[in-house]
Structure 1
């Protein structure tokens, strides 16, 4: 394929391993929940000579699970600064060193017989995942050829879904999701960053960062040639970088600069809403609670467990399908299609939950899997790449940090409120709020998101800074 070289493939794989790490750790701790809770009781008794109540045990378990998201929020918030100060490649290297340390600490929590060690390990793992979700998409967006940027951007989500799916398989009670195997299940966390550290040694730095941020043209040309292996293509992209640098009105910016900037307000709002449309869609509830969700609807536990595997498999398969579609149909069409399909599927889930018949169980599974299919079509992947296409080099890292921080915060909000608020209060109507939110997100994206397919970043930035940008312009762009 044109513009695809061995170094580009290696660099892509080296970057998306960070997103695989994020995906694997998103749900890996949920499968051995009962075993870890017993571990908490036993170690607490050993250390403090106090037998925990069920409420105390559950509180510590919830704290351990939440530490992953808390660490992720911190990592996301400083990810842009690290990408700016160290560069994209060195930022990834730092992240993987932290990830390797977090994986090792998590793995030794059982031999050391300490739930506190597990807590620290999950915090470091989350911190690494937060860094990865900022720096990996940044690196990918800056090494990708314009004509392949969408498809390569989808690989972020493919890595996430592959990580989730592998954690679901290994987390089965017949494999590692049991008393004897749960420590090994968590220990696997250390392998992706170890492999990534080796691969990154052979990956080039981001040419755009080297040229525009560091102002080192010769070094940028050298790094770009490693990726393209074509002098004409290199010369063309260097000219494009030169034009972007000359036209760029925003220098390197920090978080507060981005928030204050009136010129970037539209782009930032679009980026934030795109990330909210991913996490407030209801997919977090599917990922974290689908087994409970199905069993509460009357489906047997074994069937629910394998239906959960079906969710992971469909996510991977459909994300693969969207790789070629992203640069053919465009971001706007696919994201709108995904939101509309998810909204309809959420309504069907509510209907299925309120039908009292044997066929309703099959209907519920089909509606849930349909929800997952439409998530993979657009909302699963496009938010990860959108900041790379809405912001030029100067504000891009800080803007990415803000949007990804919002993504993690929304993830935490749903994971905490779904089991404690939505299920008890709404019962069989738990997905109705998600249907309403999806409808509102569809309206916003329809009105304001321009098509970024095939556009240089500077073109999109200039478009969004057009005086009087308003509803309706997106449809004509």
Structure 2
């Protein structure tokens, strides 16, 4: 009974992953209204609209870089639930700034709103997976872990659908479109009030066994919880005996440096393989391929939809084929289709080729969804023992958001400079990432942490 899914568990997981849905929504939503936001900038400022739009897009990732470490600190200080609750309230403020930026004729408000919602989303990418993994039964932890990715993909598709012209992707609608970020945050605020605190946090951090037992009984729908309580204590004792490592230690100690390098490169491959260029600017890419603006927006919905489908497909594959195989397959497929995208874009005068450009872009996204979309987030916790894990995971998240910022800021100038050849730099990087992964990444499937860490000693 203790390993089954209950209503209380599903409720708590849903409340937590609304933060990840927010992350997906705000990644996908900025794509469609580009024309109208640039028009708004041009009307009120004499700076370059495309440059300021690049700032609006990329400032989101700067917020994310602040949100990640903030979440690590606050969830230890205030508890998992309280941290998520405070972050949801923060998301409401970011959404209000974005939603009222046009009414106040203030591009600054738009930039501040994107920055604040970036902090909210960075916080969620750290706090939500922690809470979910701590409340899920051990044998369902992998399956519940992928729910985070599903929520991101669902938010992405939602943002892209709402961004089509007849709905909110127009001159009047875009502030409403960005302001809709208030809904997941408000809903999360309300739902979290009735969600349980993590029993693991209560037992091992707060040392409140009575409360931990109550919450665990509620989550499992049964008072058969002795084994789970004992397992937490065993893990806690093992953790106390294990040396704790800081971020500088990860760089200094050779046995930790190699897995850190692997994890960092995995995170860089997720961002610098070019996926966010597609997520932030797919409408622009499809228009460059020869589609009219409305068709380009409809094609963009395909991008989010494929990510959603691939998140579902990769759940059973993760433990069947293993992390290494999926990561290599994903990077290899992305490299092949980024070359084919370039070929199609350079021959777009032929109308058949512009259709192929869209198809190749969607296949490129599908291969991203196979492995590179979720494996970098999992791999660091599988390469490190308890003592170094949290330092390593926070380095990975920081690198991921920083790389995201670079792509968001540089893609428009790169697109202006390279035109149809804009994906060539990403192709070169994908090939390099593939080679590195082939030689360096060990398979972690069905291996204990001890077996994996022994590989680096």
Instruction: Could you tell me which runs of 5 or more consecutive residues in structure 1 were left unpaired when the two chains were aligned.
Output: 45-51, 470-477
1:153 corresponding residue in structure 2: 145
Correspondences of 1:196-215 after superposition (within 5 Å):
196-215=188-207
1:278 corresponding residue in structure 2: 270
2:410 corresponding residue in structure 1: 417
* 8 Å Cα contact 2:383/2:453 also seen in 1: no
1:378 corresponding residue in structure 2: 371
1:78, CA displacement in angstroms? 2.7
2:451 corresponding residue in structure 1: 463
Closer, same or farther: CA 264–240 of 1 in aligned 2, 3 Å: farther
Closer, same or farther: CA 264–3 of 1 in aligned 2, 3 Å: farther
Closer, same or farther: CA 58–377 of 1 in aligned 2, 3 Å: closer
* 8 Å Cα contact 1:69/1:126 also seen in 2: yes
Of residues 69, 73, 80, the one that matches 1:81 is 73
CA distance in 2, matches of 1:229, 1:263: 42
1:40, CA displacement in angstroms? 3.5
1:435 aligns with 2:423: no
2:133 corresponding residue in structure 1: 141
1:453, CA displacement in angstroms? 4.5
1:383, CA displacement in angstroms? 2.4
1:132, CA displacement in angstroms? 0.8
1:257, CA displacement in angstroms? 5.1
CA distance in 2, matches of 1:390, 1:76: 20
Closer, same or farther: CA 192–56 of 1 in aligned 2, 3 Å: same
CA distance in 2, matches of 1:89, 1:398: 21
Closer, same or farther: CA 228–253 of 1 in aligned 2, 3 Å: farther
1:21, CA displacement in angstroms? 0.7
Deviates more, 1:249-258 or 1:138-147: 249-258
1:245 corresponding residue in structure 2: 236
Deviates more, 1:327-336 or 1:131-140: 327-336
CA distance in 2, matches of 1:276, 1:80: 21
Closer, same or farther: CA 390–10 of 1 in aligned 2, 3 Å: farther
2:177 corresponding residue in structure 1: 185
1:475 corresponding residue in structure 2: none
Instruction: Could you tell me which runs of 5 or more consecutive residues in structure 2 were left unpaired when the two chains were aligned.
Output: none
Report how many residues are paired. Answer: 454
SS at match of 2:454: coil
* 8 Å Cα contact 1:212/1:393 also seen in 2: no
TM-score (norm 1): 0.86
1:133, CA displacement in angstroms? 1.1
2:339 corresponding residue in structure 1: 347
1:49 corresponding residue in structure 2: none
Of residues 295, 299, 306, the one that matches 1:307 is 299
Closer, same or farther: CA 340–109 of 1 in aligned 2, 3 Å: same
2:391 corresponding residue in structure 1: 398
CA distance in 1, matches of 2:418, 2:100: 41
1:11, CA displacement in angstroms? 1.7
1:271, CA displacement in angstroms? 2.5
